[in-house]
Amino acid sequence: MAAGRIQLLVSDVDGVWTDGSVIYSGSKREIKRFNVRDGLAVKIAQNSGIEVAVITGRQSAALERRCAELGIHDMRQGVSDKLGAVKEMLADRNFTFEQLCYIGDDLNDLPVINNAAISAAPSDAAAEVLAAVRWKLDARGGHGALRELVERLLRARGEWDAIVESFHGAKITAESL
């Protein structure tokens, strides 16, 4: 079962964590809108033993802040060769593509999508990406696509029901999301 071997989830950002919009405020400030359900999904994945990393072709201080809040230590920005960067991520951990789950939404994600054990895309991804991925998600980018992926992955591993049960009566603080 491929889901049981996944140790690293690597995600593109724009079009996955966001709806793909870029909003500029003034000459140097960029604004991004993140979905808190995706943030909780990161924490759930991490608590389930799946490391989460992000990779993006853009540079964003907002993304740096979000990753810091979520405890994501491997964040690579300004990447033009995503496959090369993911190969480095895997080598750094002594992992193989058989241990990789990747989510992306556009053409520059295809090289990684074509090599990952499990690949996924939001429902509004490019048609070529949707044709290539293993899992087509119902959620659009920026609207819980990462959450849906993590839930699907953990359901496939048989872990989701126990995770949900652990939240009944648990105290969750807003700062942890």
> Quick check: 175 pLDDT over 70?
no
The whole-number pLDDT of residue 170 equals 63
pLDDT-derived band of residue 28, with 50, 70 and 90 as boundaries?
Answer: confident
* Mean pLDDT in residue range 128-151: 98
Confirm whether 40 is domain-assigned. Answer: yes
Residue 137 lies in a domain: no
* Section 163-174 average pLDDT: 74
Which pLDDT score, from 0 to 100, does residue 22 have? Answer: 85
Assign 99 a pLDDT band (cuts: 50, 70, 90).
very high
Is the pLDDT at 169 greater than 70? The verdict is no
Annotate 74-131 with three-state secondary structure: CEECCCCCHHHHHHHHHHHHCCCHHHEEEECCCHHHHHHHCCCCEEEECCCCCHHHHH
Cα(131)–Cα(10) distance, integer angstroms: 19
Residue 106, domain extent: 2-17+34-132+142-168
Indicate the length of the chain as a whole number: 177
Identify whether 88 is part of a domain: yes
Say yes or no to pLDDT of 168 above 90. Answer: no
**Domain CATH code at residue 96:** 3.40.50.1000
64-73 contacts, C-beta under 8 A, 24 or more apart: 66/17, 66/32, 66/34, 66/39, 69/39, 70/39, 70/42, 70/43, 71/42, 71/43, 71/46, 72/42
pLDDT band (50, 70, 90) for residue 102: very high
Q: Does any domain span residue 24?
A: no
**What is the overall mean pLDDT for the chain?**
94
User: Across residues 115-131, what is the average pLDDT?
Assistant: 98
Backbone angles phi, psi at 171, to 5 degrees: -95, 120
Using the predicted structure, report yes or no on whether residue 130 has a pLDDT greater than 90.
Answer: yes
For the chain, the domain total comes to: 1
Domain contains 25: no
- Residue 82 in any domain: the answer is yes
Q: How far apart are CA 48 and CA 26, in angstroms?
A: 41
User: Is residue 172 pLDDT above 70, yes or no?
Assistant: no
Q: Does residue 28 lie within any of the structural domains?
A: no
Q: What pLDDT sits at residue 26?
A: 79
